[in-house]
Structure formats: structure tokens, C-alpha cells
Amino acid sequence: MPNVILRAENIYKKYGNLEVLKGISFRVNQGETTVIIGPSGTGKSTLLTCINQLTPPDKGHIWLEDTEITHPDTDINLIRSSIGMVFQHFNLFTHLSVLDNVRIGLLVVKKIPMSEATKISMEKLNDVGLGDKVNAYPAELSGGQQQRVSIARALAMKPKLILFDEPTSALDPELIGEVLNVMTKLAESGMTMVVVSHEMGFARAVANDIIFMENGVIVEEGKPDKMFIQSENPRTKEFLHKITELYGGKKE
Amino acid sequence: MNFLALAWNILPKLMEGAVITIQLTIIAIIIGIIIGIPTALGRVYGNKVVYTVCSFFVEIIRGTPLLTQLFILYFGLPSVGIMLSPFTAAMFGLGINSAAYQAEYFRGAIQSIKKEQLIAAYSIGMNQMQTIRHIVLPQMFRLVIPSWSNELIYLLKYSSMAYMIQAPEIMSQGRLIASRNFRTFEVFIIVALIYLVLVSILSKILDIMENKFRIPGL
């Protein structure tokens, strides 16, 4: 039995009268990458932010290993420090240098001494290929570089799992590759990842599991080959066909 | 006596006044910061009670004239047994007045910080206090500098109202001198020039500060 890192059961979320999530359940095994795909406005991003409680779900339970995240007694800041998150718009701290963006969580949240925090941060920045940019500020970097900083920021916290919320959607096409490369390397190194993305090429090559969501429910879930080639579900087929055409994923 | 000779003659007295003016301005701006930041934070992050109290404070101060506030502190408070010296009354009056305006500048600065950064801070496990301390405040201070230089300049000039409660600042000194030598026109031209020099120095300092704290690339 693989070790389950994340388990979500029956997640419901409403914004006013709009039901965004209608009973989502899934699990993610250690070291595996789950890619969530689906049309815009189906609640994919909401589902991610439910996991680290940035938008607490109305109903349902989520566990990170043996800890129930949704339990009222759980220290949510502690949980968040062990779940990395990478955002569509990078969300870097604009007043801090690249190094400080990565280091601040270690210093402030984990209370690691400066020299140790610097060492870890430098290591992670080297991992994402930005060892020479540590003194730059976010506004001086390209989108691809900013996104790699934000991956390094997540990595530095030694997370059990990283959530990616459309990490390449805000990037110029020629910058998408550098971010996907870093993510692919991460997945290969055994990081557990949940990725909301329209990058079908990445999904197919890297995902252990693909979840197709529409209108707040999981329509279909399975291995990439099953989803891309043998899907029985007409909605999945239609969506994958359209999106593959649009984003130019791997041809069959 | 020509203009320069007159200026030379009365300058020492006026400079005594200028020192009081500068002291009043600096103390008032500091009182303003000390009260203004919590007020701004209360307006942005506070619960309903805190928000209401802070808003009430801002509205009352902004809704009444500075001179009225100074009169209440200096001429009004003695009737409830609180006697303040002209300087102390002016200091608190200007400080509290500035606090209300600064609270609004701070609030504007806080609200112009992108929410995405706060979400990122929470996502790495920072609590609200840590987020305010490490993400919000450092950016707020940078963003507020331009409106702050306005506030400092206003404050420096409005401190002349302290003359009305007999605080011995430049205007009081000028009035005193003019009442003795009857050279009202020249005396107040010189007073005006002193204000002009002080304001110029102040805005230069704030320009330098703004550049020094600028975030590269932004």
C-alpha cells in the first residue's frame, strides 16, 4: 500500500448561492503527481485553496497524513507551513530580494537561524536555476524567473506536498518551458504535487493521476494513458480534444 | 534701517521661534504615527467594534477645524481641571489632528498592497501578526512616503496656528516683533521666507528618503 499524503472526503464549498464544489473526494499518494484539469470556473483553484484552508470548505474533511486539516483544533499555520503553494501570479513579496522571499518563511515561521536559513534558501534557488539572481528584486525578473522563485520559496519550507494553481497560465509562451522543466524535475525527485493546469503535455508526461473536474464534481479520474486514449466519458473526450488542440499538447 | 539690517536684527528671535516650530512639527508627526498606524490597522483588519472606534476618531478629527481642537485643549480642558502649557497643548493638538490624516494615508497604503502577497504569506504559514509585521508594514512605510511629505509640510505650516494659543513659535515671535517695531510687512515677509526654507529642506529630505527606500524594479 502506498503512503497516502493527502485525503479529501466530500468537500463542499458555496460562494453565496453559487455551489462551487459539490462533494469532491480524492487522495494523493506520497511521491506522486496529481494533475487536475477542467474548464474554467469549475472550482479547481477553489479546491486547492480548500486544501490549505485559504478558503475553508463548508463541508467535508481533509487529512494531511494523519492530521485532519479541517478539524477545528488543528494549528492551521503549522499545516500551511508543510503544504507549499505556487500561484498563477507568483505572489512574490515585492519589497524583498529573491533570497529574502525564499528565506522569510524559514526565519519567521520556522524560526531557523539566519545562517542555516540562508544555506537552505541558496540551495533551493540553485535547484531552480536562480543562484545568480539572489540579490535581484521580483520586479526585475521575468515571469518565468519569478515563478521559479516562488517554487523555491515553497520548497525551502520542506513541504510534504506542493499545490500548484495554474503555475504557467500567466506566463509568456516562451517562458512556460523553464517552469515546467523545474516542475518535472521536482516530480521526478519524488515531491508530492497537486497541479491545476492546462498544460496537457506536462500532465501526460508527468502525472501519475489525472482528475477531470467539471461543475464542481469529479467527472473522471485515472492514469494519463487511460484519460487521454481510452476515456469512455464523452465530456472528458471533448474537453481533452479541445484543450489539446488549443495548447498543442503531445500528439497521438 | 534697510530690509537686510532689519532681518539681521530680528533673525535670532525668529530662529528661537523656528526651533519651537520644528519641535512642534516633529513631535506632532511622531504622535501622529504612533496613533495613526494602529488606527489604520484597526480600520483595515479590526473587528466591527475596533473598526467603528477607529473610524469615529478619524471622522471627528477630520470633521472639525484644527483651531477648534487647539482651543478645546488649551482653553477648554482647564474647566475640567486639566491645565496644559501652550506648547503641550499645541503638541497634542497637532499630533492628534495629524494622526487622523496619517491614519487615512496609512490605510490607503495598506489597501494598495496586493492581496496576493498576503495570501502567499498565509500559505507559507505566517499568522496575521507576522504577515502585518513582515509583509504589510515594510511596504506601507514605502508607499506612504509621498503622502507623508504632504502631511509634514502641512503640519509645519499649520503649526503656526499654535500662535493662537500663545505657543512661542515663529508666528508668535513675528507678531511680538512687529508689535514693537511696526514693520509688519517686512517682519512677516521674513517669517514667510523662514517657512519657505524649512519646507524646502523638509521636502528635499523626504525626496531623498523616497529614493533611498525605493524597491528596485518597481
Angle at A239 between CA A234 and CA A243, to 5 degrees: 150
Picking from B119, B123, B130 by the largest number of A CB atoms within 10 A of its own CB, the best residue to mutate is: B123
pLDDT per position as a tens digit, A59-94: 999 999 999 999 999 999 999 999 999 999 999 999
pLDDT value of residue A57: 95
Closest-CA residue in chain B for A53?
B123
- How far B38 CA lies from chain A's nearest CA (Å)? 22
Closest-CA residue in chain B for A103?
B124
Q: How far apart are CA B218 and CA B200, in angstroms?
A: 26
Q: What is the mean pLDDT of chain B?
A: 93
A93 lies within 8 A of chain B by CB: yes
Sort out which chain B residues have CB atoms less than 8 A from A109's CB and list them: 124-126, 130
pLDDT value of residue A152: 97
Closest-CA residue in chain B for A152?
B124
pLDDT value of residue B195: 95
Which set of grid coordinates corresponds to residue A49? 485553496
B135–A93 C-beta distance less than 8 A: yes
DSSP code for A158? -
Selected residues 45-64 of chain A with any CB under 8 Å from a CB in chain B: 52, 54
pLDDT surpasses 60 at A252: no
B124–A80 C-beta distance less than 8 A: yes
Q: How far apart are CA B19 and CA B168, in angstroms?
A: 10
B129 lies within 8 A of chain A by CB: no
- How far B211 CA lies from chain A's nearest CA (Å)? 14
For chain B, percent of residues with pLDDT exceeding 90: 83
pLDDT value of residue A247: 61
B116–A89 C-beta distance less than 8 A: yes
B125–A77 C-beta distance less than 8 A: yes
Helix (H) or strand (E) holding A33: strand A33-37
For chain A, percent of residues with pLDDT exceeding 90: 83
Helix (H) or strand (E) holding A62: strand A59-64
Q: Nearest by CB to B117, which of A91, A109, A136?
A: A91
SS (H, E, C) B16-55: HHHHHHHHHHHHHHHHHHHHHHHHHHHHHHCCHHHHHHHH
pLDDT surpasses 90 at B217: no
Q: Nearest by CB to B122, which of A54, A82, A138?
A: A54
B116–A137 C-beta distance less than 8 A: no
Would you place residue A122 in the very low, low, confident or very high pLDDT band (cuts 50, 70, 90)? very high
Main-chain dihedrals φ then ψ at residue A60, nearest 5 degrees: 105, 170
Sort out which chain B residues have CB atoms less than 8 A from A92's CB and list them: 117, 120
Kindly calculate the radius of gyration of chain A based on its CA atoms and give it in whole angstroms. 18
pLDDT value of residue A243: 79
B206 lies within 8 A of chain A by CB: no
pLDDT value of residue B2: 85
Cβ(A125)–Cβ(A99) under 8 Å? yes
Angle, helices A143-156/A114-127, rounded to nearest 10 degrees: 130
Contacts of B99 (CB under 8 A, 6+ apart): B31, B32, B33, B34, B35, B36, B39, B57, B61
- Helix, strand, coil percent values for chain A (each to nearest 5): 40, 25, 35
- Point out the least confidently predicted range of A40-49, A91-100, B93-102: A40-49
A105 lies within 8 A of chain B by CB: yes
pLDDT surpasses 90 at A250: no
A137–B216 C-beta distance less than 8 A: yes
pLDDT surpasses 80 at B218: no
pLDDT value of residue A41: 86
ipTM at complex level: 0.92
pLDDT surpasses 50 at B8: yes
Q: Nearest by CB to B125, which of A80, A94, A141?
A: A80
pLDDT value of residue B4: 87
Sheet holding A4-15, edge to edge: A18-29, A4-15, A59-64, A67-68
pLDDT surpasses 70 at A1: no
Would you place residue B149 in the very low, low, confident or very high pLDDT band (cuts 50, 70, 90)? confident
Q: How far apart are CA A70 and CA A62, in angstroms?
A: 6
- How far B53 CA lies from chain A's nearest CA (Å)? 29
Q: Nearest by CB to B123, which of A80, A136, A138?
A: A80
Helix (H) or strand (E) holding A112: none
Q: How far apart are CA B202 and CA B71, in angstroms?
A: 28
Closest-CA residue in chain B for A136?
B216
pTM of the entire predicted model: 0.87
Would you place residue B111 in the very low, low, confident or very high pLDDT band (cuts 50, 70, 90)? very high
Cβ(B118)–Cβ(B135) under 8 Å? yes
A116 lies within 8 A of chain B by CB: no
pLDDT value of residue A223: 92
- Point out the least confidently predicted range of A40-49, A108-117, A225-234, B65-74: A225-234
Q: Find the mean pLDDT for residues B87-108.
A: 96
B120–A92 C-beta distance less than 8 A: yes
Q: Find the mean pLDDT for residues A138-165.
A: 96
Would you place residue A251 in the very low, low, confident or very high pLDDT band (cuts 50, 70, 90)? very low
- How far B153 CA lies from chain A's nearest CA (Å)? 27
Q: What is the mean pLDDT of chain A?
A: 93
> CB contacts < 8 Å between A and B, how many?
81
Which set of grid coordinates corresponds to residue A245? 488542440
Sign of torsion over alpha carbons A170, A172, A173, A175: negative
What one-letter code names the amino acid at B26?
I
